[in-house]
Amino acid sequence: MATTPANSRGTWNTKLGFILAAAGSAVGLGNIWRFPTVMAENGGAAFLFIYALLVFVIGYPVMVAELSIGRKTRKNPVGAFKALSSNKIFTLAGFWCVICGVAILSFYVVIAGWTISYFFEQIFYYFGMFSLAEWVSNIDNGWLNVGVALLFMGITISVILGGISQGIEKAVRTLMPMLVVIIVILIVYVMFQPGAGAGLREYLVPDFSAINMDLILAAMGQAFFSLSLGMGALITYGSYLNRKENIPEAAAYVTGFDVGIAFLAGMLIMPTIYMAQAEGLVIYDDAGSLVAGPALIFQVLPELFHEMGGIIGLIFGGTFFLLLTIAALTSSISLLEVPTSYIIDEHNVSRKKAAILVGGVISLISVFIAFDTSLIDDIDFIFSVIGLPLGGFIICIFLAYIWKTENAKLELEQGFKNLDNHWFWPVWKVFIKFICPALIALILGTTIYGIF
């Protein structure tokens, strides 16, 4: 189906298509830009350890919850909450999901724009056009940021306009595997470079004394961000999912894939940071904290490619930033799909009008961020680190106590025949009812208590 008229929802064509789309939503700047940056700011391996733990203890169960709510109701988050409960609080919660999506996408497009800028930087550098290379990679240039962010948003909107199976599914099928291959090749190259060993040690040998409440909060935010949880992106993707599919199994693939890519990205970026440092690039300030902030990988990676030099540097650098743009695209479409499907479902607007309207509003917000990139950290903290786990908490409570786990079971059983006799069921039930909401509340509560 080429376009999806209002009220007739598309579906994923194949199981692999869905898994790739959900994995495409998960794998993005969160893995390659956000994960290494947050990890470098939080003591390397200790962060990796807590992050991985929270992905399995909180992330995976919440992912199953989102997908089952979405598939049951076949709606966007606002519509889904409305369909299963008349309680207005949950309608508000649905709005909160939509707002988080809008806010996250508004800075996401700016960073994704940088991946486009650096793709061109690599080309200009190779051809010896150094001043052009420098100009296009100046991430403090507001108008340039606006230009590339809008370009990226335009591409995102055009994929969304294609609808579900023709647009989103087709785009991710070929692109995801390519990304994995190139990252692996780059890791092998980096491992042979001077300084890489120290970075690898920092990445893999945990210093457990570095674990504190800030680190745990950051790791929880990263888990939600990276798995695309807490704002109904997977409620929405689940709404296009065939009832024959096994949700816990699909979610396990997506989670595994996402963590795998984040782990690989860390294997690439941490040694590269140390390599770049060995060459005199200033990464940490005197106090030992990261100076580079959101621009970290955009400072060290181009260094790596220039270091490779020549046509090899161009091929790796160009392909890497191109694939990073694409990985960002398969994520940004899921962020845009949430508010878009909300407008389509709840206000009976055509897909085309809805996507252009929502994309336009988000583009406007992103102009402010393009001119003041220091806003990224604040918006990210409010909407990713606090907002997404809050959304996740509400989703757990909603599923467990409003919709009820027994009803979720009926939905899950459609694609998971022996669920009743499988260990998954009792374990997941306990996690969704008690462990996940309690842990999220504990971590968020301690933080909020600490702020005031």
Binding stretches for ligand TRP (CB under 6 A): 25-26, 28-31, 104, 225-226, 228, 231, 233, 331, 334-335, 388
Decide whether 327 or 408 has the Cβ nearer to ligand TRP: 327
**Residue of minimal CB distance from ligand TRP?**
30
Cβ atoms of 30 and 331 closer than 8 Å: yes
Measured CA to CA, the distance from residue 417 to residue 249 in angstroms comes to 12
Cβ atoms of 159 and 171 closer than 8 Å: yes
Measured CA to CA, the distance from residue 109 to residue 387 in angstroms comes to 19
Decide whether 68 or 193 has the Cβ nearer to ligand TRP: 68
Side-chain-side CA neighbours of residue 254 (13 Å)? 35
Mind giving me the DSSP string for 207-264?
A: -GGG--HHHHHHHHHHHHHHTT-SSSHHHHHHTTS-TTS-HHHHHHHHHHHHHHHHHH
Q: How far is the CB of 403 from ligand TRP (least distance, A)?
A: 21
Measured CA to CA, the distance from residue 440 to residue 270 in angstroms comes to 28
Q: How far is the CB of 379 from ligand TRP (least distance, A)?
A: 12
Amino acid at 130: F
Q: How far is the CB of 326 from ligand TRP (least distance, A)?
A: 12
Q: Is the dihedral of CA 77, 81, 84, 86 positive or negative?
A: negative
Contacts of 158 (CB under 8 A, 6+ apart): none
Cβ atoms of 306 and 313 closer than 8 Å: yes
Decide whether 32 or 196 has the Cβ nearer to ligand TRP: 32
Decide whether 77 or 415 has the Cβ nearer to ligand TRP: 77
Decide whether 80 or 233 has the Cβ nearer to ligand TRP: 233
Decide whether 66 or 202 has the Cβ nearer to ligand TRP: 66
Q: How far is the CB of 125 from ligand TRP (least distance, A)?
A: 26
DSSP state of 419: G
Decide whether 51 or 425 has the Cβ nearer to ligand TRP: 51
Decide whether 111 or 443 has the Cβ nearer to ligand TRP: 111
Measured CA to CA, the distance from residue 53 to residue 6 in angstroms comes to 41
Measured CA to CA, the distance from residue 67 to residue 232 in angstroms comes to 9
Q: How many CB atoms lie within 10 A of CB 244?
A: 8
Decide whether 328 or 443 has the Cβ nearer to ligand TRP: 328
Contacts of 255 (CB under 8 A, 6+ apart): 26, 55, 56, 59, 60, 63, 227
Measured CA to CA, the distance from residue 72 to residue 85 in angstroms comes to 13
